[in-house]
Structure 1
Amino acid sequence: MKQFWITFFGSIFGVIVGSVLAVIVFTIMLFSLFASAMSSAEKEVALPVDGIVLELDLRTGRLDSPSSSPFAFSEPLSVVDVVRTLERAEADERVQGLFIRANEFGMSPATAEEIRTAITNFQASGRFVMTHAQGFEGTSLTGYYAVAASDEIWLQDTASFTPAGLAAEITFLGGLFDQFDAVPQFEQFYEYKNAANQYVETGLTEAHREAMTSYMTSIYDTAVASIADDRDQSVTDITGVFETAPHTAETAQEAGMIDRLGHVVEAREAALARAGAGSSAVSIYDYAQAPADFSSAPVIALIEGQGAIVTGSGAAGPFGGTDMIGGDAMSENILAAAEDSNVRAIVIRVDSGGGSAIASDQIWHAVIRAREAGKPVVISMANAAASGGYYLAAPADYIIAHATTITGSIGVLGGKVDLSGTYARLGLNTESVSVGGEYATAFSGQQSWTESQREAYRTQMEDIYEDFTSRVADGRDLPLERVLEIARGRVWTGAQALDLGLVDEIGGFRDAIGAAKELAGIAPEGEIRLRRYPEPLTGFEAFQQLFGVSADSAEAMARMNALMDLPEVQAAVEARQQMDARGVQLRSTAPQPR
């Protein structure tokens, strides 16, 4: 009995001590976060008066645009902000060059293309770029593609040069569903709208393989041609290097892919020596935090959206989460910019494979309203602007894409998975009671479609497909017959889309700003102020937003967000969301080749 009470009270004491420690740790973390937010908000970096060499570390993944999380200040600069910061540095006499830590395993092709373009623009201002890699260890050529234009590329002599090409994988669940008597039921317009294939097929269809091979070949050809130009070699020579991968550091140097062998400290010393005596290395993040000079120049609005397109705000939780494009939020931002008398033009940066047809149409309407208000609208496509991402872009005055952007996918899909057979195998039985029309049970996951339900759903999708294609025809000033030929859900690269008339120009973010200036009647060399909609939160504002929830809720959400960040959880959630999406979807799941 004595031992029982010892154990009983010992357990209670352990729970109390554990709870107290958890509260203490959480409080410390909270105040550390507060201190970080305050230092981020108040930080003024004392930059050297001369001889600055900016440092850019590409080894850390970065979003295309700043995260909508209130604590985005702790993340690496977005791709857009890297481009803007380097452009600013081009006019700064203190900045002599750029030192890059190369990505070892690869990145999305369009991100690599945007970084490459930023490098070449920076060099055109008379500054040097030196890159060091601790190996190009991945088989993807994109990490090398991003930095191939550097004046010097260093490679650690014990590392490998492994880039061989591009690859992409798709997991098909059709066979798995068969094992559990689950019946996926999807409708798609048309054979190239492949997002549903992973649920209904066991492998690539002929159309699916054809489309993937086509756009991956286009991306590969673009990258190889650019690398050949950067390294002053022939396409044949560059292709030969990739086709005989992997290589040692020495053989990569002999092939002209690498300029010098050595460790990162030696490469950094060489960069500082090139910049001149007394030079200093400054991280591009710190340089970006330095306040910009006051300007009364004309305003161009920048509205950014990345992730799946959803109805509502699309806001991430107070502790972050996956970025989404909310139909309400993006359309409200577009309309706010259109109503601002100081705004001369609007640039919309899109990085999305699509999503909700309703939300995409809502944003499409906002673009139309902005143009009717007399504000030119330019679309800047990032890694992807496909399906719903292309839908919202179609009515713009001008569309600019990277050659390697994944776009198009003009098509519609939707459906459900009937799990009644799976439940029966487990001894479960779900019965429904409905009143009204037969369509009331159309989205039930416990029964298959009736013939009339399926026909009604397909008719609904057909209407949306007709709306989609007609709006592309109107927005792009193309004959509807031509749009119907190039639609059918097929994915294209930006380079292919240019030939098809789906985009107007191949270029990056700065090209989009240039197009907006031209449409707004601003001289090419004229200064502009780029104003984000909505305005980014300061560190203090982010902390205030955090305290909109209780400490208990904050702790629970922090744990939940940590769990949700796991890649296997995100993959499962994404798959479930796609299966459960009851609205018709304008979605493309074309994988980014790496």
Structure 2
Amino acid sequence: MNTPATYTPPQRRLSGTKVFFISIAAVVIGLFVFFFLLVILISGLAAAAGSSPPDTRATVLEIDLRLSLLDAPVAPTLFSDSPASVVGIVRALDRAKTDKRVKGVFIRGETGGLAPASAEELRLALIDFKTSDKFVITHAQGLSSTSVIPYQAISASDEIWLQASTSIATAGLYSQSEFLGGTMELLGAQPQFIRHGAYKNAVNSYTEEGFTPEHREAMESLLTSIFDESVDNIATDRSLDRATLLQLFETAPHNASDAKTAGLIDRLGYLEEARDSIRERVGDDDITFTPIADYDPKGNFGKPVIALIEAQGSILPGKSGGDGLFSAATSIGGETYAAALDAALDDDDVKAVLFRISSGGGSAAASDQIMAAVRRVQDADKPVIISMGQYAASGGYYIAAPADHIVAMPQTITGSIGVFGGKIAFEETFAKAGYNLEAIQIGGDFAGAYNIDTPFTESQLAGYQAEMDQIYEDFVGVVASGRNMSREAVIEIAEGRVWTGQQAFERGLVDELGGFDTALRATRRLAGLDEDAAVRLERFPRPKSREELFNELLSGTASTGQDLEALSALMQRPEVQALIAIRQDAQARGAELKAPLPKVR
């Protein structure tokens, strides 16, 4: 948890000159984009006019795990498509099960960027996909990550191919924490932080030189839980006993031939050979390999509506960042998501809300704003079901706690019911450098509390402590009320400690273990529908279409002005100017509720 944002500075007004030039720039860019899109539109219409009926050829969906994955889909920007996401893949695989054109899935394996819960959820989706008697085949040009997480994502494949000249390095889990306590002392800096919870470990990065006993205990427990779950999953998928698999991890790395003998992979060969093998399996040389992001079968229309709200990233006051012309939204604005929940509340067609959260938290005030909106939806007799993604910790858990039903993956990182905040006073550091700050203060003593020079005074520290106390009391109260627990029981499992979904389930912080599909079944059930009933998932807030983004560009809205200002600032960066010069030469010649989430790899 970072310090709560209690003051929002006034919006900076643009000068008349800036408005004039921004408007001119908007018109110029708008005309350029207009003609650019016009050419695309004409080309598209021409192609459509002479196009043949929809492609009915057999297809194999391709998933490229070498690319980073978001947790949930985001809207495309004006110039780029929506990147791949875990929820997007899970939903596509569910639809593909009953699509006769889809014969199987081909995975390009290996990435070190998957969160444990993401790998686990992809694995479950692939296992479910195979119940339709369709295949899953993976090819990797080496499995160089030492983490069990990427391998867990592909272990349920019918076949794992490995290029013969490479190896598999899967061994375990590794997480590193940095400590600046010694650096602070050397520089003469004075960290001053307040926290509720001995396990609220973000503070330790600034105050300690190494792990505290509580910090080490929490990290070892978390990693052990994730590792044990991963080992069990992989052992099941590869038909290996646990002891044998652990021995293989202990003796990693293994060359491709040895890995095949040990049962970690199935076949050796190049990418092209794996593709040819799939063609032989299907019995059709003309099959297409379709990126799963491009697979978009017809959805359900006119069915009971479930509101789908997908939130990922840090929780911030105001509107969500991104969601504009040039960048997609990957933050959780309190105002944006409270409005989305209220829109779902007001929509008579919406029977329930499925709220997907993947966040380590952030602003206490924004978290509280979204949590209050969750309660308003519930007060209107519309159930709210939480699907936890990679993380739902601190502020992420604060939002989830009141929900009617909480679903988490066993390897989701959640909990962190605690608070921290403070500052670092650089008075002695500045003095060593001969740098001096002098302030003039009018009014109460707390007016200078957040300056970066002097430490807290006694009265400032007391006032700040009271703020932190109140946030923690509110957090405990929200969890106690939402989970039907006593305050004492909440405090016992709070202390700022992060838990895996499995551990949280055992402690009553989560109702059910599973992924998006499990949460969707629970949503149907709580909405009074059959668990397998056809429903229409409608996204709130509704993503903007490219046409709307284009109109915003032409109309010169406030967000357009902000985007243009950001673009202007980017263009002035020296590295960009250097690239422009090179190009010209070439043409001439021709947080509060913020959890310290570990990076597990």
Q: Same fold (TM over 0.5)?
A: yes
Identify which range, 148-157 or 263-272, moves more after superposition.
263-272
Structure 2 contact 59–290 (Cα < 8 Å) conserved? no
Partner of 2:535: 528
Partner of 2:349: 342
Are 2:400 and 1:388 aligned?
no
Give the secondary structure class of the aligned counterpart of 2:321.
coil
Structural mapping, 1:42-121, within 5 Å: 48-67=55-74, 70-71=77-78, 73-121=80-128
Of residues 194, 213, 216, the one that matches 2:220 is 213
Give me the CA root mean square deviation. 2.8
Decide whether aligned partners of structure 1 residues 104 and 433 sit closer, same or farther in structure 2, where only a CA change above 3 A counts. closer
Partner of 1:573: none
Decide whether aligned partners of structure 1 residues 38 and 326 sit closer, same or farther in structure 2, where only a CA change above 3 A counts. farther
Identify which range, 211-220 or 50-59, moves more after superposition.
50-59
> Match of 1:96, as an amino acid?
K
Are 2:456 and 1:449 aligned?
yes
Identify which range, 165-174 or 318-327, moves more after superposition.
318-327
Structure 1 contact 53–275 (Cα < 8 Å) conserved? no
Cα deviation, 1:298-324, whole Å, max 9, x if unaligned, reads 110111111111100022154227721
Partner of 2:565: 553
Decide whether aligned partners of structure 1 residues 562 and 120 sit closer, same or farther in structure 2, where only a CA change above 3 A counts. farther
Partner of 1:332: 339
Separation in 2, partners of 1:560, 1:285? 38
Cα deviation, 1:315-338, whole Å, max 9, x if unaligned, reads 215422772110100111011101
Give the secondary structure class of the aligned counterpart of 2:295.
helix
Structure 1 contact 132–267 (Cα < 8 Å) conserved? yes
Decide whether aligned partners of structure 1 residues 148 and 509 sit closer, same or farther in structure 2, where only a CA change above 3 A counts. same
> Match of 1:302, as an amino acid?
L
Separation in 2, partners of 1:538, 1:41? 17
Decide whether aligned partners of structure 1 residues 285 and 177 sit closer, same or farther in structure 2, where only a CA change above 3 A counts. same
Are 2:323 and 1:311 aligned?
no
Give the secondary structure class of the aligned counterpart of 2:137.
strand
Partner of 1:223: 230
Decide whether aligned partners of structure 1 residues 460 and 68 sit closer, same or farther in structure 2, where only a CA change above 3 A counts. farther
Separation in 2, partners of 1:196, 1:334? 33
C-alpha displacement at 1:69, in angstroms? 6.4
Give the secondary structure class of the aligned counterpart of 2:87.
helix
> Match of 1:297, as an amino acid?
K
Of residues 228, 241, 247, the one that matches 2:254 is 247
Give the secondary structure class of the aligned counterpart of 1:74.
coil
Give the secondary structure class of the aligned counterpart of 2:417.
coil
Structural mapping, 1:536-547, within 5 Å: 536-547=543-554
Separation in 1, partners of 2:394, 2:299? 40
C-alpha displacement at 1:174, in angstroms? 2.1
Structural mapping, 1:166-205, within 5 Å: 166-205=173-212
> Match of 1:400, as an amino acid?
V
Cα deviation, 1:154-177, whole Å, max 9, x if unaligned, reads 000011100111111122222222
Identify which range, 165-174 or 326-335, moves more after superposition.
165-174
Structural mapping, 1:159-558, within 5 Å: 159-285=166-292, 287-290=294-297, 292-293=298-299, 295-316=301-322, 318-320=325-327, 323-547=330-554, 548=556, 549=560, 553=565, 555-556=567-568
Cα deviation, 1:390-409, whole Å, max 9, x if unaligned, reads 00000000000011100000
Cα deviation, 1:411-463, whole Å, max 9, x if unaligned, reads 00000111222222222221222222211111111111012211221122111
Decide whether aligned partners of structure 1 residues 33 and 437 sit closer, same or farther in structure 2, where only a CA change above 3 A counts. farther
Identify which range, 388-397 or 236-245, moves more after superposition.
236-245
Separation in 1, partners of 2:33, 2:575? 19
Separation in 2, partners of 1:562, 1:61? 28
Question: Please, which runs of 5 or more residues in structure 1 have no aligned partner?
Answer: 1-25, 565-580
> Match of 2:304, as an amino acid?
P
Decide whether aligned partners of structure 1 residues 140 and 40 sit closer, same or farther in structure 2, where only a CA change above 3 A counts. farther
C-alpha displacement at 1:510, in angstroms? 0.9
Separation in 2, partners of 1:436, 1:333? 40
Give the secondary structure class of the aligned counterpart of 2:216.
helix
What TM-score do the two structures reach when normalised by structure 1? 0.87
Partner of 2:160: 153
Cα deviation, 1:19-58, whole Å, max 9, x if unaligned, reads xxxxxxx999968985899699999997641422111111
> Match of 2:287, as an amino acid?
S
Separation in 2, partners of 1:443, 1:118? 48
Separation in 2, partners of 1:489, 1:429? 37
Structure 1 contact 319–557 (Cα < 8 Å) conserved? no
Separation in 2, partners of 1:249, 1:80? 32
Separation in 2, partners of 1:432, 1:210? 43
Decide whether aligned partners of structure 1 residues 305 and 71 sit closer, same or farther in structure 2, where only a CA change above 3 A counts. farther
Separation in 2, partners of 1:536, 1:526? 25
Separation in 1, partners of 2:317, 2:535? 33
Structure 1 contact 132–153 (Cα < 8 Å) conserved? yes
Decide whether aligned partners of structure 1 residues 286 and 217 sit closer, same or farther in structure 2, where only a CA change above 3 A counts. closer
- Count the aligned residue pairs: 551
Structure 1 contact 70–545 (Cα < 8 Å) conserved? no
Decide whether aligned partners of structure 1 residues 459 and 563 sit closer, same or farther in structure 2, where only a CA change above 3 A counts. farther
> Match of 1:60, as an amino acid?
L
Identify which range, 30-39 or 538-547, moves more after superposition.
30-39
Give the secondary structure class of the aligned counterpart of 1:157.
coil
> Match of 1:103, as an amino acid?
E
Separation in 2, partners of 1:475, 1:231? 40
Separation in 2, partners of 1:41, 1:220? 50
C-alpha displacement at 1:66, in angstroms? 2.2
> Match of 1:161, as an amino acid?
I
Separation in 2, partners of 1:140, 1:41? 45
Partner of 1:143: 150
Separation in 1, partners of 2:598, 2:39? 36
Identify which range, 504-513 or 276-285, moves more after superposition.
276-285
Cα deviation, 1:562-589, whole Å, max 9, x if unaligned, reads 999xxxxxxxxxxxxxxxx6xxx01112
Give the secondary structure class of the aligned counterpart of 1:153.
strand
C-alpha displacement at 1:70, in angstroms? 2.9
C-alpha displacement at 1:131, in angstroms? 0.6
Identity across matched positions, percent: 44
Give the secondary structure class of the aligned counterpart of 1:392.
helix
Identify which range, 73-82 or 551-560, moves more after superposition.
551-560
Decide whether aligned partners of structure 1 residues 558 and 538 sit closer, same or farther in structure 2, where only a CA change above 3 A counts. farther
Separation in 2, partners of 1:407, 1:561? 39
Separation in 2, partners of 1:98, 1:124? 13
Identify which range, 122-131 or 418-427, moves more after superposition.
418-427
Separation in 1, partners of 2:168, 2:336? 44
Question: Please, which runs of 5 or more residues in structure 2 have no aligned partner?
Answer: 1-28, 577-590
Give the secondary structure class of the aligned counterpart of 2:471.
helix
Structure 1 contact 62–78 (Cα < 8 Å) conserved? yes
Identify which range, 159-168 or 50-59, moves more after superposition.
50-59
C-alpha displacement at 1:180, in angstroms? 2.1
Identify which range, 93-102 or 421-430, moves more after superposition.
421-430
> Match of 1:446, as an amino acid?
D
Decide whether aligned partners of structure 1 residues 373 and 560 sit closer, same or farther in structure 2, where only a CA change above 3 A counts. farther
Separation in 2, partners of 1:186, 1:35? 56
